[in-house]
Amino acid sequence: MRHFVFIALKHILARKRQSFVSLLGIVIGVAFFLAISALMQGSQNDFIARLIDNSPHITIYDEFREAEKQPVEEMFPDTVIELRSLKPQTESRGIRGYRQIVDYLKSLDGVKASASLTGQAIFSFAGRDVNISLNGMIPQDMRDITTIDDNMVEGSLEALIANRNGIVVGAELMRRQSLSLGDNITLSASSGQVKTYKIVGVFRTGRADYDKSQAFLDIKRVQALMNRSNRANAIIVKMERPERAREVAALIESRIRYKSVSWQESSEDLMSTLAIRNMIMYSVVSAVLIVAAFGIYNIISTIVMEKHRDIAILKSMGYRSRDIKFIFLVQGVLLGACGVLLGLPVGCLLMYGLMQITFNPPGATEPIHMPVDWGVEQFLIAGAFAFFAALFASYLPARKAADVLPIDILRGGQ
Amino acid sequence: MEALIRAENLTRILNGDVDVTLVSGASLQVSAGEFVSITGPSGSGKSSLLYLLGLLDKPTSGKLYVAGQDTLSLDEAGLAKIRLENMGFVFQFHFLLPEFTVLENVMMPMKRLGNLTDRQAREKGVSLLSDMGIADQADKLPRKLSGGQCQRVAIARALANDPAIILADEPTGNLDSASSKVVQGILQKLAHDHGRAVIVVTHDMDFAATADRKIRLVDGKISSDRLSI
Ligand SMILES: Nc1ncnc2c1ncn2[C@@H]1O[C@H](COP(=O)(O)OP(=O)(O)OP(=O)(O)O)[C@@H](O)[C@H]1O
Ligand SMILES: [Mg+2]
């Protein structure tokens, strides 16, 4: 066994330049595989983290997922009944008993909840109408269930508690409409109500669209503006462990029957986009490694070709076909293993280099660093893939070597 | 005593566009201590017969027993095992492995057999080389040696696992007359002093004349098989 490795090593070392080139191929392949997959994974993690941060973990809506069970179905439980035009009911009056529901949610472990009423209003200024989404919440709860507080650039959320007529708007709206803190703005709603609010805070999330269209204010103000006093059309839940949102949402829905949507559910299409993106990425970086594996295939094929005589003589002295196969497989394994061992550190250097790059993604207002994930899975996947590619690349010529018949060589060689 | 090699009616036909009969109905027995030469015109099937006896080729028909084993029932690994333990080959060309030193070349069969430690194998290799008179070349690469020296290394390698049978195909074919004499002497001694069965294919009539027993092949058939007196 050790002897076979010795023979394999001699074969490789007898062709230093060629071996070095094919080794380099694997090193570069592994490094790129690692760096690109770390970057993709990093940006995905970053993306999901933002998604989790910036959206409610669970949103409870004032509607039902399924139509209510009809009395006729309860009367004949074992029959097939077709009821046409049966639709899930929408509660036009908002969520019934939302205060009790909020209290119940707050009693759950690691869960924060607040009722909210959202609606649209129009802000007219200098002859132009701007549509604004109003987020009415209980001011004391806002910090717990939104990330707006982290993004305040002027004024504060607390001002909403002090000034019941206050409103917090985005920096982009401020800029476009040349507003400044303390200004009054007048909003009109489809209910016909028109009311004036005082700007007490400004936030900037970095997403221009959000920063120009969202506004936060006391739920009571929104209720008044919408003519929907004492109503809430959504309950927003934030959790300490957002990854459990799906099961908790299911639990809540089974208890209160209102449609409860976890962040996972509401971003399912995004998740499948990410999965497709990962697949594309892995096929591209795998291609790099497959090209590198061709390098290994090439050198080992060459060695096998040149070594037909030596193989014949080894067999004549009693080496079995499988010994010969093993010798050439070991050559692939040696090149693959060295390539992985050198490629991973080189990949780390690449990853480190990528981390130094900053860029401005569209829609963001501040430059961000390239997100690179240092998770151990990328290292394992890159290493294992390269190793097995090298093994497979040497398997084909090794099998050829094993099939060499000494008699053919001896007959021809004399 | 049981013969080391017993061939009965060995025939080897090469199937192609035209079938070629390499060896036809050869029967012979070779025992320990015998020094046998095989001669015949070029193309008469000497090498082909030797490859059959050396289990490097399979007969089309006939029977072949080596060291008491029926070789026709063995698979590739089984045949390799018999070669490893019982046979040593010397060819016209030395076939030394170019990347390995002379000593490493001699150790190749021992390492495959694996019943010596590295140190024992080294010592045995050096002693085989000194029997051939080239112990001082042990750490050189084969390309630094003369043809006669290489052929002696090849003989040392053939003897590495103390095989009972030594098969040589024109071992002196590429050598000058002085080196030929040395190699002849070594092979003769192996049979007479060490009790090996030695079978040598040769064109060299002087060499053939020194054998105890001479087999002559014509057109793949054994035309004569007689002891020297
Ligand atoms: N692969 C092959 N295809 C066709 N014919 C072959 C093949 N190998 C050998 N032969 C023929 O088989 C016959 C026996 O060949 P072999 O090499 O055994 O002869 P030989 O007695 O060793 O000859 P030499 O003294 O020249 O070495 C020859 O006629 C040769 O041409
Ligand atoms: Mg011949």
**What pLDDT is recorded for position A342?**
95
B46 interfacial to chain A (CB closer than 8 Å) = no
* pLDDT, tens only, A245-275: 888 888 888 888 888 889 888 888 888 888 8
Confidence band for A365, pLDDT divided at 50, 70 and 90 = low
Q: One-letter amino acid identity for A343?
A: G
Residues of B in contact with A306 (CB under 8 A): none
d(CA A359, CA A50): 17
* pLDDT, tens only, A300-359: 999 999 999 999 999 999 999 999 999 999 999 999 999 999 999 999 999 999 888 888
Residues in chain B: 229
C-alpha A344 chain-centroid distance: 24
Please answer whether residues A180 and A171 qualify as being in contact, where contact means their C-beta atoms are separated by less than 8 angstroms. Answer: no
* Beta carbons of A309 and B91 less than 8 Å apart: no
* pLDDT, tens only, B119-128: 999 999 999 9
Most B CBs within 10 Å, among A317, A324, A326, A399, to test the B interface: A317
Of B49, B1, B71, B78, which Cα lies nearest the Cα of B167? B49
Say if residue A240 is exposed, middle or buried (CB neighbours under 10 Å; 0-12, 13-18, 19+): exposed
B157 interfacial to chain A (CB closer than 8 Å) = yes
Counting atoms of ligand 1 from 1, which one is nearest the CA of A411?
8
Residues of A in contact with B54 (CB under 8 A): 316
Please answer whether residues B32 and B164 qualify as being in contact, where contact means their C-beta atoms are separated by less than 8 angstroms. Answer: yes
Mean pLDDT of A11-34: 92
Contacts of B4 (CB under 8 A, 6+ apart): B30, B31, B32, B66, B67, B86, B164, B165, B197
> B145 has which bridge partners?
none
Residues of B in contact with A316 (CB under 8 A): 54, 56, 83, 89
**What pLDDT is recorded for position A51?**
82
| Domain boundaries B3-227, corresponding CATH code | 3.40.50.300
* pLDDT, tens only, A47-81: 888 888 878 888 888 877 776 677 777 777 788 77
Q: One-letter amino acid identity for A6?
A: F
Tokens of A222: 């929104």
* pLDDT, tens only, A83-123: 777 776 665 677 878 888 888 888 888 888 888 898 899 98
Q: Which member of B51, B114, B161 has the closest CB to residue A407?
A: B51
Average pLDDT of chain B, as a whole number? 93
d(CA B55, CA B76): 10
Q: Which residue is associated with the tokens 């969202």?
A: A214
Helices marked H in B132-204 — which ranges? 147-158, 177-192
Looking at the predicted structure, is the pLDDT value of residue A414 above 50? no
Please answer whether residues A260 and A58 qualify as being in contact, where contact means their C-beta atoms are separated by less than 8 angstroms. Answer: yes
Confidence band for B176, pLDDT divided at 50, 70 and 90 = confident
Tokens of B193: 């002093």
d(CA A167, CA A148): 13
Q: One-letter amino acid identity for A317?
A: M
Strand boundaries in A126-210, DSSP class E: 128-137, 152-155, 166-170, 184-188, 194-203
A308 interfacial to chain B (CB closer than 8 Å) = no
The dihedrals phi and psi of B19, each to the nearest 5 degrees, come to -70, 135
Is the shortest distance between the CB of B92 and ligand 1 below 6 Å?
no
B58 interfacial to chain A (CB closer than 8 Å) = no
Contacts 24+ apart (CB under 8 A), B13-20: B13/B60
Domain boundaries, chain A: 2-52+270-411, 56-70+91-263
Taking every pair of Cα atoms in chain A, the longest distance, rounded to a whole number of angstroms, is 107
A311 interfacial to chain B (CB closer than 8 Å) = no
Mean pLDDT of B177-206: 91
* Beta carbons of B112 and A407 less than 8 Å apart: no
Highest mean pLDDT among A93-107, A199-213, A369-383, B54-68: B54-68
Please give, rounded to a whole number of angstroms, the shortest distance from the CA of B133 to a CA of chain A.
23
Contacts of A368 (CB under 8 A, 6+ apart): A358, A359, A360, A361
d(CA A305, CA A288): 26
> Could you tell me the pTM of the whole model?
0.78
**Residues with CB in 5 Å of ion ligand 2:** B 47
Looking at the predicted structure, is the pLDDT value of residue A157 above 50? yes
**What pLDDT is recorded for position B138?**
94
Q: One-letter amino acid identity for A208?
A: A
Which value, to the nearest 10 degrees, does the dihedral of the CA atoms of residues B100, B104, B106, B112 take? -110
